[in-house]
Amino acid sequence: MKLTREARSIALVINAGSRKGSAARQLVAGSLQRAELPISTVYTVRGGGDLRRTLEQAVAEGHDLVVVGGGDGTIASAAGIVAGTDVVLGVLPMGTANDLARTLEIPRDLSSACAALADGKVVDIDLGRANGQPFLNVASAGLSVAVTQALSPRLKRLIGPLAYGVATLRSYATHKPFHARLEFPDGDHQPVELENLLQVAVGNGRYYGGGNAVSPTAGIDDHTLDIYAILAAPLRDQVKIARSLKNGKFVQSEQVYHLTSRKVRLVTDPPLPVNLDGEITTGTPTDFAVERNAVHVVVPGNSSSATFEGRN
């Protein structure tokens, strides 16, 4: 286990397109400098290709710690770039949900997050892949995609995490059930055919959707994926499921199919877009896999979310 203060060179990348990013650069840079962390370069980006090019540049320049401020989609993109390298990722929560920060027990307040970063420890976490693209929290098809599409930037700015509940209600009213087939390349489960579905999700981390738990036992360093499918059902049954989303016990419902695996292939009828940590970037059929201990990341010194094991 390393300490953050051992970093020789640090790059700070702020996504100004995230909910808090546009106003955060001076606050974060000042906080990290007061913590006596050697910030070598500060970048401000606005997402998309600019974000990827900047992150790749930061890694190529030889910084051993890249601190990224943004939402979960931004952090997942960064994780995909540093995965498998010795570069350490620092996380500053600047999005709407900030579920990765919740999983890693990183404070949501930026000043506190900077202090935790300065005094933090380095652990390694798993990285999910969907058709080769990275995700840290959850990938999903079905209702969640409609929710993401309904989450306008204006709504997120106005009410923050509450926007997820509003968008869910809007999307549920127009949802069309679908069919899915789950296949398991490692042979640890038999293929499964599922009809009349509301949503299929594959979780790598513990939290998603503004604080919902993937399952009671899900973790970001357990080296497995949590797969669940929610069946379409009468509204009263969906309300029961919704009430247990926060603790993950919804997976125990008769209307939910749940299992774990390191690899799964999802085929849907009709083909559907797939949401990766709030970004719709691929579609079905989708091959999911988990990369064990792929990303080195800084967590608070008292965090119990993950340990440093090394890749094996």
Side chain identity at residue 186, one-letter code: D
d(CA 312, CA 295): 13
Backbone dihedral region for residue 67 (phi beyond 0: left; psi -120 to 50: alpha; all else: beta): beta
Q: Distance between CA atoms of 259 and 252, rounded to whole angstroms?
A: 11
**C-alpha span between 74 and 52 (Å, rounded):** 9
Task: Count CB neighbours of 203 within 10 A.
Answer: 28
The first and second tokens of residue 291, run together, are 């990369």
Q: What angle do CA 167, 98, 142 make, to 5 degrees?
A: 40
Task: Given the residues 6, 183, 254, 279, select the one marked as catalytic.
Answer: 279
Q: How far apart are CA 122 and CA 296, in angstroms?
A: 6
Q: Tell me if residue 56 is catalytic.
A: no
**How many CB atoms are located within 10 Å of the residue 36 CB?**
8
Q: What residues are annotated to the active site?
A: 279
